Amino acid sequence: MSNAEHKPDIRGHRLDEDELARNFGDLHPPLTRADALIEADRCYFCYDAPCTTACPTGIDIPGFIQKIRSDNLRGSAHTILKENIMGGMCARVCPTEVLCEEACVRNTHEEKPVEIGLLQRYATDPIFDEQTPFFSRAPATGKKVAVIGGGPAGLSCAHRLATLGHEVVVFNRDNKPGGLNEYGIAAYKAIDDFAQKEADYILSIGGIELRNGETLGRDFTLNHLRESYDAVFIGIGLGSTNKLGLDDESLPGIDDAIDYIAELRQADDPGRLPVGRRVVVIGGGMTAIDIAVQSKRLGAEFVDLVYRRGPEQMGASLYEQNLAQTNGVTIHHWARPVELIGEDHITEIRFERTELDDSGRLVARAEYFELTADVVFKAIGQILDLSVLGADMTGLEFRHDRIVVNETGRTTLRDVWAGGDCVSGGDDLTVTAVQHGKLAAIDIDQHLRKK
Amino acid sequence: MADLKTSFLGISSPNPFWLASAPPTDKAYNVNRAFEAGWGGAVWKTLGEDPHIVNVSGPRYSALHSNERRVIGFNNIELITDRPLQTNLDEMRQIKKDWPDRALVASVMLPMNEQTWARYLPMIEETGVDGFELNFGCPHGMSERGMGAAVGQVPEYIQMATEWAKKAASVPVIVKLTPNVTSILPPAKAALDGGADAVSLINTINSIMRVDYDSLTMYPTTDGMGTHGGYCGEAVKPIALNMVAEIARTKDTQSIPISGIGGITDWRDAVDFMALGASNVQVCTAAMVYGFKIIDDLVDGLNNFLEDKQLTLDELIGKAVPSVTDWQYLNLNYVEKAVIDQDLCIQCGRCHIVCEDTSHQAITNTVNGERHFEVIDAECVGCNLCVSVCPVAGCISMQQLTEGNDPRTGKPISGEKANWTTHPNNPMRKTD
């Protein structure tokens, strides 16, 4: 094909409304009561259950399933939410296939675990629909804590601090709370504005002041907060995205996947979003899968996902890889982008094949191929934007450009805690961020009560 | 093909599966369908005096369900036939004519005076039925009127009415027993003494299914009020099996033939009843839950089982009776220990937690810091709890210790049998 003839074909409304509605409806429809009871019956009620051990927030999974079985749904939801206040979102977005469901003992002989994620959603949905209050606040302590970031880590921390009797102010960069739950999750995983329902529920505990649109480093600094609050929790996620490191990376048509996903999540009508006919995604994590599948579901004709290593090394689980493939995404392994081609818009991208050498290092093979592209999405990971911390970084320790904390989220500054994606040693999962926020809140509480 | 043809009291049927006297045998339409499906016989829905009784026009049944809505137990408050006697007799006559190879037995329930029995039985026998079954079992409704279980709970009444029936009937008489008694033996003995040709058991068990969690009334009700019903279905089988075995193994009653009833759902249930002494079986609830088609598996499964075991039906009957005894005769020198097959174990830990919480602390949860479930022989009493709760069939088994010492008691394993009757701890022990 001649590059000169290739004009970018990028437009919205590739599919009719009905098809879009189907494509952006619930990825996994909720269980009916009949389904849930049968599925709950499959749980063996294990002793010291492996699923609970595998859950980063330690939800008593056999316990909540037992309560589904006895039609004690409110009790079931409470069992979930007391360990994980975002149990509703986690039921939707957790890679259960590598967490609780991977640990399910049913895998041993039948390779079909109990559908824990779907059961968790079944138990918690009514609570968020009806905003059933479960939690009350301990007597006021008179202490004030600043939480930077309104994502899973920040909201989880704020909720637990509020229940423990502290006053909390959440400084949230965005216009809505929820962080990546609101802006970063594929649309079909959290339909019907669920992230906001969940945030509303969390905030309804009281004692949490949410300040939207206030950004660290622009509107306030860490040191300001340390002066006026008894403790500070940093849950700012990762502010910026990795670069390909190639020439012409600013060519029109080359976009960050997370920006597009955020736009799609905020769009009332997904059909409005322009989508390329030929889309190439670079990366191997959940975001790569999300952008690839969503592009396909918006009507892209060809979606190629290219990852420099093999399927086992992909950050996306095997389940997610299968999801991409059944949605018509072509996954190419062992190739890295080496050249972005186009005059005033991306038209083609050249890849070089890769392999592992004898010592296990990734090396290029000097074999090349090209993919035609109207749009290229970069989904090669995010990094912590250290600039927002500015001069206040003094005293904080970093490892691989992330904040170092101990097991309860304490940083090297005695009144500062941190959690979620911005800390070192995490796995970039919502459920882990929730746990970080929870553990930090418990530690902050103990610290403040000792003072 | 094993021969499933049965002759019970001389009443022949192509297989040992009869439909019990109950709603499925209420009228010719149903019984025709049952015989078309392959049922070996039917005990017609219980006949009574004219004018016929009436039933409630509200809920007559309710069920104990699993979460999958499988019916585990079933309860009813339906009374005997609510149709005119003549209608029933006409239909029975026609059925017997149309299905001469099938067993047709008339169930009857009559007040306690001889004249009534003398009047009705010949009238009924005239339809050509192969036998009578005396309903001394229904625990609800009719028992308030001095019939059904009200008779079955008093051995003297059983004997009396059986004698009247035997005098009035020339075909075999089966006495159907109620389980709502302390011991099944006196009623069975009374039936035998009254001249009964056989007993059938069990009828249903007094029961209330549950309450309604909204109204906090019992459930179900008729216009806000309810009454106890008769419980049946799979859940009652063990109760029935015990009563059948008691009759079959007790000297005073073992001569009477038994028709086994109570929760028979598949062919294995029939094997249970027959091996424990029943000569044939009767089914109701399973048919009411699944329809008449279940006869396919009952016949086919029993046939295949007999073929595999190279047994005749007659050889199966009573085969397990000699294995039933009193507790006092169990061998106290016999020792078993649970053994967990680690290749099959799925690490659910159920065996550990039930043993730890409720039994003998005889199963580990960790070994060398790893999650691992293993029997501690020095604590295991061989109780079979772990086997019972393990979700993987065959993963935990009981294995006999045949030599050395029992690690729990330190005592040597003895090949000699010794039971409670001679045990030193027994103050009533027998000494030579």
Domain assignment present for B177: yes
User: Which of A152, A304, A166 lies closest to A237 in space, CA to CA?
Assistant: A152
A44 and chain B in contact, CB less than 8 A = yes
Q: What are the phi and psi torsion angles at A102 (to 5°)? A: -70, -30
The yes-or-no verdict on residue A5 having pLDDT over 70 is no
pLDDT of residue A451: 76
Q: Hey, are the CB atoms on B346 and A109 less than 8 Å from each other?
A: yes
Q: Do A48 and B349 touch (CB under 8 A)?
A: yes
Q: Considering the domain boundaries, does residue B182 fall inside one?
A: yes
Query: Would residue B431 count as lying in a domain?
Result: no
Say if B429 falls within a structural domain: no
Q: Distance (Å) from the C-alpha of residue A48 to the closest C-alpha of chain B?
A: 7
Q: How far apart are CA A417 and CA A423, in angstroms?
A: 10
Q: In whole numbers, what is the pLDDT of chain A averaged over residues?
A: 94
In terms of CA atoms, which chain A residue is nearest residue B352? A47
Instruction: Pick the last residue of a domain from A358, A378, A398.
Output: A378
Same domain, yes or no: A193 and A287? no
Chosen for mutation from A32, A37, A43, A47 (greatest number of chain B CBs closer than 10 Å) is A47
B126 in the Ramachandran plot: left (φ > 0), alpha (ψ -120 to 50) or beta? alpha
In this predicted structure, what is the pLDDT of residue B28? Answer: 98
Co-location of B170 and B278 in the same domain: yes
Is 70 exceeded by the pLDDT of residue B365? yes
Count the residues in chain B: 432
Which residue in A has a C-alpha nearest to residue B392's C-alpha? A109
pLDDT of residue A83: 98
How confident is the model at residue B177, as a pLDDT?
Answer: 97
Name the band, by pLDDT with cuts 50, 70 and 90, for residue A2: very low
Query: Average pLDDT of B324-331?
Result: 97
B30 and B79 part of one domain: yes
Strand order in the sheet with B229-232: B61-65, B71-76, B229-232, B205-207
Report, as an integer, the average pLDDT of A403-425.
96
Domain containing residue A76? 33-130
Residues A309 and A191 both lie in one domain: no
Listed residues B277, B308, B323: the one ending a domain: B323
CATH code: domain of residue B188: 3.20.20.70
Size of the A and B interface in Cβ pairs below 8 Å: 41
For residue B50, what are the contacts with CB-CB under 8 A and spacing of at least 6? Answer: B84, B85
Quick check: is A413 in a domain?
A: yes
pLDDT tens for A48-82 read 999 999 999 999 999 999 999 999 999 999 999 99
Do residue B130 and residue B148 come from a single domain?
Answer: yes
Query: Considering only CB atoms, which chain A residues are within 8 Å of B350?
Result: 44-47
Residue A432 has what pLDDT? Answer: 97
Residue B67, pLDDT score: 85
Tell whether B291 and B335 lie within a shared domain.
no
CA distance B270 to A28: 44
Kindly state whether residue A20 falls inside one of the protein's structural domains.
no
ipTM of the complex: 0.86
Judge if A331 and A433 occupy the same domain.
no
Question: Tens digit of pLDDT for each residue in B224-279?
Answer: 999 999 999 999 999 999 999 999 999 999 999 999 999 999 999 999 999 999 99
Give residue-wise pLDDT tens across range A211-263: 999 999 999 999 999 999 999 999 999 988 899 999 999 999 999 999 999 99
Query: Does residue A281 lie within any of the structural domains?
Result: yes
- Domain annotation covers residue A433: yes
Residues B379, B305, single domain; the answer is no
What are A291-343's pLDDT values in tens digits?
A: 999 999 999 999 999 999 999 999 999 999 999 999 999 999 999 999 999 99
* Residue A391 domain flag: yes
Answer yes or no: do B154 and B298 share one domain.
yes
| B181, pLDDT greater than 60 | yes
Residue A427 pLDDT: 86
Residues B376 and B246 in one domain: no
B105 three-class SS = strand
Mark which of B271, B292, B323 sits at the end of a domain: B323
> Do A153 and A167 reside in the same domain of the chain?
yes
Share of chain A above pLDDT 90, in %: 91
Two tokens at A403? 């904040």
| Per-residue three-class SS string for B297-313 | HHHHHHHHHHHHHCCCH
Q: Which residues of B touch A44 (CB under 8 A)?
A: 346, 348, 350, 391
Question: What count of Cα atoms within 13 Å lies in the side-chain half-sphere of residue B206?
Answer: 13
Q: What share of chain A is helix, strand, coil (3-state, %, to 5)?
A: 40, 20, 40
Kindly tell me if the per-residue pLDDT of B102 is higher than 50: yes
Q: Kindly determine whether residue A46 and residue B68, on different chains, have CB atoms separated by under 8 Å.
A: no
A378-395 tens-digit pLDDT = 999 999 988 887 777 788
Helices (H), A232-317: 257-266, 286-298
| Residue B95 structure tokens | 């059925």
Instruction: Say yes or no: B315 and B339 in one domain.
Output: no
Whether A276 and A159 share a structural domain: no
**Cβ distance of B391 and A44 shorter than 8 Å:** yes
Across the range A106-115, mean pLDDT stands at: 94
Q: Tell me: pLDDT of B1 over 80.
A: no
Split into its structural domains, chain B has a count of: 2
pLDDT of residue B97: 98
Q: What pLDDT score does A388 carry?
A: 80
- Given this model, what pLDDT does residue B421 score? 96
Q: What is the pLDDT of residue B130?
A: 98
Check whether residue A248 and residue A350 sit in a common domain.
Answer: yes
CATH number at residue A342: 3.50.50.60
Region label for B384, one of left (φ > 0), alpha (ψ between -120 and 50) or beta (otherwise): left
The reply to whether B228 and B363 lie within a common domain is no
Claim to verify: residue B301 and residue B318 sit in the same structural domain: yes
pTM of the model: 0.90
Q: What local confidence, expressed as pLDDT, does residue A392 receive?
A: 76
Residues of B annotated catalytic, as ranges: 138
Encode pLDDT of A91-108 as tens digits. 999 999 999 999 999 999
Question: Which residue, of B297, B323, B349, is where some domain finishes?
Answer: B323
Render pLDDT for B301-323 as a digit per residue (tens, 0 to 9): 999 999 999 999 999 999 999 99
Tell me: do A260 and A324 sit in the same domain. Answer: yes
Q: By residue range, what is the domain housing residue B293?
A: 6-323
Is residue A205 domain-shared with residue A315, that is, in the same domain? no
Q: Considering chain B, what percentage of its residues have pLDDT values greater than 70? A: 100
Structure tokens at B255: 């001569």
The pLDDT of residue B166 is above 60: yes
The residue among B69, B346, B353 with the most chain A CBs within 10 A of its CB, best to mutate, is B346
Whether residue B428 lies inside any domain: the answer is no
Q: Does A253 share its domain with A355?
A: yes
Residue A364 pLDDT > 60: yes
Residues B297 and B346 grouped into a single domain:
no
- Contact between residue A170 and residue A210 where contact means Cβ atoms under 8 Å apart: yes
What does the alpha-carbon distance between residue A307 and residue B362 come to, in Å, rounded to a whole number?
52
Same domain, B108 and B250: yes
Token pair listed for B106 = 């008339």
Average confidence (pLDDT) over B98-108 = 98
Residue B155, pLDDT above cutoff 60? yes
Are A253 and A340 part of one and the same domain? yes
Q: How confident is the model at residue A6 (pLDDT cuts 50, 70, 90)?
A: low
Q: How confident is the model at residue B96 (pLDDT cuts 50, 70, 90)?
A: very high
